[in-house]
Amino acid sequence: MSESKPGELTTGSTPISKELVVGVSGASGSIIAARLVSYLLEAGHRVHLVASKTGKLVAHDELEVPEGTRGVFPDMEHENLKEWGEKNFFAPFASGTAPIDGMVIVPCSMSTLASLAHGISDNLLKRAGEVMLKERRPLIIVPRESPLDRIHLRNMLTLSESGAVIIPPVLTFYQHPGDSVSEQVDFVVSRILDHLGISNELFHRWGSEA
Ligand SMILES: Cc1cc2nc3c(=O)[nH]c(=O)nc-3n(C[C@H](O)[C@H](O)[C@H](O)COP(=O)(O)O)c2cc1C
């Protein structure tokens, strides 16, 4: 029997591939999205990637991507990765009939958060999120802003009440990460994967053997 890879779902020895949407909006923290997407691809899952216009600009700035690059994560070509333009409402996952297993919006700007909380779907990323909510499928939102005002908090509550899971990219300390940003990123990615039902060992879990 073949060994399964980390993050791979199996039934018996047959891997089960999930089909997921990852949305990147114009908040800080695209490194988390990049790590999530590469983990999912490595584990054999299929990823539809959609960035908002500002999402792509902020990601390129933070990840130091050369000007004029088309894709949001240019070093990440993979047969199971497909990137969609933010205005391409013809993408299959703009409809609830597409068999999508879940969506993660990471990072989620306060603007995209507000739109989703109020049913405004003026780009593909927001439409995909709306579809997840109406179809009662997993929608994981990683909001990034600090401090949060009442409007932000109300919008998060509205989305939580509609079934979304809110995973703020908070710091972890109980695993003694020292000054490693990548360990902090892996902690957030791990929490996202947990809520997608994808097993992972990206950080040392509380109570587990050292
Ligand atoms: C470098 C940079 C960083 C930003 N960081 C954040 C952020 O962390 N959180 C946030 O809500 N907005 C942030 N913004 C503002 C959003 O990009 C802006 O509100 C935009 O309209 C969001 O559009 P979108 O939700 O369609 O991506 C940032 C903008 C820039 C240029």
90 lies in some domain: yes
8 lies in some domain: no
97 lies in some domain: yes
Query: What is the Å distance from ligand 1's center to 155 Cα?
Result: 16
Closest residue by Cα to residue 75 from 84, 86, 66, 87? 66
pTM of the model: 0.94
168 lies in some domain: yes
Q: Is 126 in the pocket of ligand 1 (CB under 6 A)?
A: no
C-beta atoms surrounding 24 within 10 Å = 33
Q: Is 54 in the pocket of ligand 1 (CB under 6 A)?
A: yes
25 lies in some domain: no
Counted domains in the chain: 1
Closest residue by Cα to residue 105 from 187, 38, 164, 171? 164
State the residue range of the domain holding 45: 30-140+159-175+182-196
Q: Is 28 in the pocket of ligand 1 (CB under 6 A)?
A: yes
Mutational test site, ligand 1, from 22, 57, 58, max ligand atoms within 8 Å of CB: 58
Closest residue by Cα to residue 23 from 44, 52, 43, 45? 52
190 lies in some domain: yes
Q: Is 58 in the pocket of ligand 1 (CB under 6 A)?
A: yes
- How do residues 5-21 score in pLDDT, each as one tens digit? 777 776 665 668 999 99
- How do residues 166-193 score in pLDDT, each as one tens digit? 999 999 988 777 778 999 999 999 999 9
**What's the CATH number where 130 sits?**
3.40.50.1950
If 0-12 CB within 10 Å is exposed, 13-18 middle and 19+ buried, where does residue 128 land?
buried
Q: Is 121 in the pocket of ligand 1 (CB under 6 A)?
A: no
208 lies in some domain: no
User: For 18-145, where are the E strands, in sequence order?
Assistant: 19-24, 46-51, 81-84, 102-108, 139-143
- How do residues 43-98 score in pLDDT, each as one tens digit? 999 999 999 999 999 999 999 998 888 899 988 889 999 999 999 999 999 999 99
Tokens 């049913």 found at: 119
4 lies in some domain: no
Closest residue by Cα to residue 57 from 88, 84, 24, 103? 24
